Amino acid sequence: MADPLSGARAKFTRVFGAGGRIHVVRAPGRVNLIGEHVDYNEGIVLPMAIEPQVLAVCRVNPDPKVRLASTAFPNELVEIQLDQPVEPARPQWANYGRGMVAKLMDAGIPLCGADILLDHTLPVGGGLSSSAAVLIAMGLSLLTIGGNRMDPARLAMLAHSAEHDFAGVPCGIMDQMVVAAARAGHAMMLDCRSLQRSFVPLDPLELRVVVANTMVHHDLSDGAYSERVASCRRAVEFFRGANPSIRALRDVTPEQVEAARGQLDETTWRRARHVVHEIARTILAAELLGKRRYEEVGELMRQSHDSLARDYQVSRQELDFLVDQARATAGVYGARLTGGGFGGCVVALVQPRAAEPLMERLRESYRAKFQIDPMVFATTAAAGASVLE
């Protein structure tokens, strides 16, 4: 197999030409083991970085502009001028780059002109946080060629702001934080209110994580995601009426949400119920994972997926099919959809010996059912973004 760094550098040269000092930055994708749709409710999440990644190849450009290309969108070269205000524009994919440029400049970081190629092994819209990987890779590239450094948490916050303002996705902070600050061999337990991070070991001799991409593209800017964010806000307003100290669904107890049935409209109540119980499941799952009680973690993953499908209504038949296939496979502790839903991926926590049989089963059964070849891979927990050279 060709060296991915050499391949990325060769692609960069074909687009931008040879010469100059070249740097390569990597930003991983992520899966969320449990804790879905709770980050924008100030909840607790348990993601990990994965081995598939975005490589950003970059060098200084003497002109006051950033020239940006992506292997996911070939034959499109975008220029971002540094001597004038940066605003969202077309093509839409480049708004992640524009947003990161704008947020770094707003933060007072001096930027020099740059040529940047984004080389993807992450599927776009696959639920593995390719958007956060692009944002963090862009930010770290611009910092690196400018001779600047930044705390990963601060970089994550700027990327989070960029995704809100330039991509129009009202996401939480989870994706950007784990992509920027993950620890190899660990899942990150992240408090999305305080941003406090702790790490739970994932022993590769005992566990593998298998990810299966339905190849059904999802676009979190299409309104379905925003509508669920709005539902959660309506629920918060309801609970705040009885208790003004409640500022997010994080502050609502399972008992309170169960008592509210019939007082909220059914859709809003079900979405609130998912979030409140999902936060409780995530806290317990992190504790159990640290104690190596994998069967119990798997049961919590089952509850999580069923809640996402029935209450939050972000699953679909392709996701449900893969989850059912994984659950029926020996050596699988648990499986659930991961990411925003509406398509994308499922994640399974498995015994190492079960990884290959599970991947083969998912490929064959999914192809037979939907006439689509899914992308299926096994991964261990990877480190956060870094400068490779």
Output the DSSP codes for 322-354: HHHHHHTSTTEEEEEEESS-SSSEEEEEE-GGG
State the Cα torsion 12-16-21-24 to the nearest 10°: -30
CB atoms within 10 A of CB 59: 18
Residue 248: closest CA among 32, 37, 34: 37
Has 222 been annotated as catalytic?
A: no
Radius of gyration of the chain (CA): 21
User: Which one of 175, 219, 265, 324 is the catalytic residue?
Assistant: 175
Strands (E), 121-233: 186-191, 197-201, 208-213
Residue 41: closest CA among 271, 300, 311, 346: 271
* 8 Å CB contact between 218 and 169: no
* 8 Å CB contact between 52 and 29: yes
Fill in the amino acid letter for 369: K
Whole-number Å distance between alpha carbons of 216 and 179: 23
The residues annotated as belonging to the active site are: 175
